[in-house]
Structure 1
Amino acid sequence: MSLRERIFDLHTPESVDRFLETYPLAAIFKASTSDRTFEAWGFVERAIENRTDLALGLIRIPEDRPASNWVEERSGVRHQSPQFILFRNGKPVFDLDNREIEPERLSQLLAESLPVHLGAAVKNPAVVGLHVYADLLRRFVQGNLSEERFQWGYLDQLKKEAGWRSEADFELLNSLFENPDGRAFRPATLVALEFQSQLAGRGRPLLERARALLARLEAQA
């Protein structure tokens, strides 16, 4: 089971309460668009990927500010971003903020705080898979979506999810475009790079690359 299947998007105070009341063993990660968030997320991802009994709530700043404010009020943990908070039975166990989120410290606190034996695996029934990307690719390949609209739709979707997608998923989805900036990319930059590449006649046409990626997504569905 991948970490992606245990991620719950938290947008409102109600979603925070429902999440913490449903899962006795849970963590919340507050993400912004900073480079530090991407680095911290990578550390968190590696530290908890094998803890299949740990549910992970994701709060994006600034759009999920209502949820973030409620976490602060409910837990008494002062808001920071990025921030990782571990909960047991709805109560905070520890939190790490900004530069404190680093592999050694994170692993130590998790080892001290999590049960020795794995509990029942967590799975988000509403988890966002890769079907959104497959649908965009399919519409483009079939001629139902213009190249311009496809590029913006695909890249805007990937940008929203860049902070939490697993390494494997992000690398697969990111492979469609020339991207020198990794998870910190800007859609406008990649659209411009694609245009320049087409003018220069470099590489395979976008439509051909899209067909190949769609085949890969359908094969693993």
Structure 2
Amino acid sequence: MKKFDSHEAFDQAVESGEQLLVLKHSSTCPVSGAAYEEYESFVKEHKDVNAYYLVVQDDRPLSNHIAEAFHIKHESPQAILFNNGDVVWHASHWKITYDSLLNAVKENR
């Protein structure tokens, strides 16, 4: 699991066309903390998944860019799955679970 360090890094990852799983995480929200743990657990067991995260408080411009560019309402926590440069699935808050991530990745390979 890698942290996005720039807007350009995000754009390059999406433009690669590969499947990409992104978590938008709030470092001050307990619900986001629980979602982060689910995400981290999933990523540790599925090393083949191209997984990234960003901390909304550290990079709000990137978080806003994702919402605007892909026409999805900004939420935090929020998991977003990209495939071939498009959003194919997203979930927020308590819907971010190990099982929901697994199902999304499997259904959109």
Q: Quickly name the TM-score band, shorter chain normalised.
A: 0.7 to 0.9
In structure 2, C-alpha distance between the alignment counterparts of 1:110 and 1:19, rounded to whole Å: 16
- Mapping of residues 101-180 of structure 1, within 5 Å: 101-114=96-109
CA deviation after TM superposition for structure 1 residue 83, in Å: 0.6
Match of 1:112, as an amino acid? E
Between Structure 1 and Structure 2, the one with more helix by share is 1
- Mapping of residues 5-20 of structure 1, within 5 Å: 6-7=1-2, 9-20=3-14
CA deviation after TM superposition for structure 1 residue 14, in Å: 2.0
Match of 1:101, as an amino acid? I
User: Which one has more relative contact order, counting CA pairs under 8 Å at least 6 apart?
Assistant: 2
Between Structure 1 and Structure 2, the one with more strand by share is 2
Residue of structure 1 aligned with 2:78, choices 83, 86, 96? 83
Mapped pair 1:24 → 2:18 = yes
In structure 1, C-alpha distance between the alignment counterparts of 2:21 and 2:90, rounded to whole Å: 9
Match of 1:19, as an amino acid? A
- Deviations along 1:68-111, one digit per CA (max 9) or x if unpaired, are 11111221121111110011121111001012112333332233
Contact 1:25–1:53 (8 Å) recurs in 2: no
How many pairs align? 108
Contact 1:11–1:67 (8 Å) recurs in 2: no
- Deviations along 1:15-38, one digit per CA (max 9) or x if unpaired, are 221221236111111111211122
Question: Where does the alignment leave 5 or more consecutive residues of structure 2 unmatched?
Answer: none
- Deviations along 1:172-205, one digit per CA (max 9) or x if unpaired, are xxxxxxxxxxxxxxxxxxxxxxxxxxxxxxxxxx
RMSD: 1.9
The alpha-carbon distance between structure 1 residues 94 and 14, as it changes in their structure 2 partners (threshold 3 A), is: same
The alpha-carbon distance between structure 1 residues 31 and 109, as it changes in their structure 2 partners (threshold 3 A), is: same
* SS of equivalent to 2:31: helix
* SS of equivalent to 2:80: strand
1:152 maps to which residue? none
Match of 2:87, as an amino acid? P
In structure 2, C-alpha distance between the alignment counterparts of 1:16 and 1:73, rounded to whole Å: 14
Match of 2:64, as an amino acid? N
Q: Percent identity?
A: 25
Question: Where does the alignment leave 5 or more consecutive residues of structure 1 unmatched?
Answer: 1-5, 115-221
Which is greater in Rg? 1
